[in-house]
Homo-oligomer: A and B are copies of this chain.
Amino acid sequence: MTYQCDEKKAGDVEFRCYFQLAIMVIGGKWKPKVLFHLGQNGAVRFGALRRAVFGISEKMLIQSLKELEKDGLVHRKVYRQVPPKVEYSLTDVGESFVPVLNAMYDWGRSYASYLIASQQSGCGFEAGKALQNLDELVKVAENSVA
C-alpha cells in the first residue's frame, strides 16, 4: 500500500484510497452517530431518531439521512397515514458497516479505561481492553451534572 494512492473510481465516485472512500461516505459530525443508532434499532421513525441522536438539529438529521439514502446505506419507507410517518432502516450495505461501528464503540470503552487508568496509577490496564467495572467508574454523580 503506497502513500499517495493513485486516483481510483467506482461508479461516479472518485477517490485515492479505500480508507478515504469510507471516510467520504460515513465521515462527518453526524452520519456516524445516525448510523450507529440505526444499527442499534431496526426501523426507526424520523422523530424517534431525532430524539435518539443527542444534539442533532432537524436540518442536519434530514441532510444526513438524505446523503446516507443516496449512498445506499439507508432505506426510507413512507407510511401514508395520519399523522405522517416515515421509517428509516439500514440496507444490507448499511448493515455491513455495523461491525465497524461496534468496533469503534468497543474502542471507546477501552479508551475510557485508559483515561481512568491514567488518572489512577497502579490501576491495571491493557491497551485495547476495557476495565471490568468501567460503567461504574464513568458514572457521574447526579449533582455534578453541568
Contact = CB atoms under 8 A, between A and B. Distances in A.
Interface of A: 1, 3-11, 13-23, 25, 27, 29, 32-33, 36-37, 40, 51-52, 54, 72, 91-93, 95-97, 99-101, 103-116, 118-119, 127-128, 137-140, 145-146
Contacts of A17: 54, 105, 108
A135 B96 CA distance: 20
28 contacts: A3-B52, A4-B51, A4-B52, A5-B54, A6-B139, A6-B140, A7-B146, A8-B140, A10-B113, A10-B116, A11-B115, A11-B116, A13-B115, A14-B140, A15-B112, A17-B54, A17-B108, A18-B108, A22-B108, A22-B111, A23-B32, A25-B111, A92-B128, A95-B128, A96-B110, A99-B103, A100-B104, A100-B107
